[in-house]
């Protein structure tokens, strides 16, 4: 992380022992350890927050794309409804002829039955 070698670490420890003395060195090491721990936690939290924000941004982009495809589906549904309505109107204009035709068949059946009964 800081690119400190073993020899450099020994030099820092010896200087700290000479400057602080053996009585204050353990307390100073404890304080430095706490600060390093806090710094690591803050860096970790910062990294996690960046990851969350990137994930949220990705989800927003996906939602926008889905929204565009939904708009396309809405347009397709409108066209489908228009065509269905036009077909319904066209078929309703042919319904009276279709209704007349089965009545003729029903009238034709008794005549055939009468012919069969006579023979």
Q: What is the pLDDT of residues 77-118, one digit of tens each?
A: 888 888 888 888 877 777 655 555 555 555 555 555 555 555
Backbone Cα Rg of the chain: 44
Q: What is the pLDDT of residues 46-68, one digit of tens each?
A: 999 999 999 999 999 998 888 77
Structure tokens at 105: 């068949």
pLDDT number for residue 67? 76
State the average pLDDT over residues 2-31.
Answer: 90
pLDDT number for residue 81? 87
Domain positions in the chain:
56-93
Distance, in Å, from the CA atom of 102 to the CA atom of 109, rounded to the nearest integer, reads 11
Q: How far, in Å, are 15, 58, 71 from residue 54 at the CA level?
A: 44, 6, 26
State the average pLDDT over residues 30-52.
Answer: 96
pLDDT number for residue 61? 92
Q: Helix, strand or coil for residue 3?
A: coil
Task: Please list the alpha-helical segments (H only) found in the chain.
Answer: 6-118
Note the pTM of the prediction, 2 decimals: 0.45
């Amino acid at each position: 992380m800081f690119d400190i070698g073993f020899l450099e670490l020994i030099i820092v420890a010896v200087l700290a022992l000479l400057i602080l003395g053996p009585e204050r060195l353990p307390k100073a090491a404890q304080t430095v350890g706490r600060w390093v721990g806090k710094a690591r936690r803050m860096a970790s939290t910062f990294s996690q927050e960046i990851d969350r924000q990137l994930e949220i941004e990705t989800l927003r982009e996906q939602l926008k794309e889905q929204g565009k495809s939904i708009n396309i589906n809405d347009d397709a549904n409108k066209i489908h409804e228009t065509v269905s309505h036009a077909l319904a109107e066209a078929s309703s204009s042919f319904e009276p002829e279709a209704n007349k035709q089965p009545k003729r068949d029903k009238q034709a059946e008794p005549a055939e039955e009468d012919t069969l009964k006579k023979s």
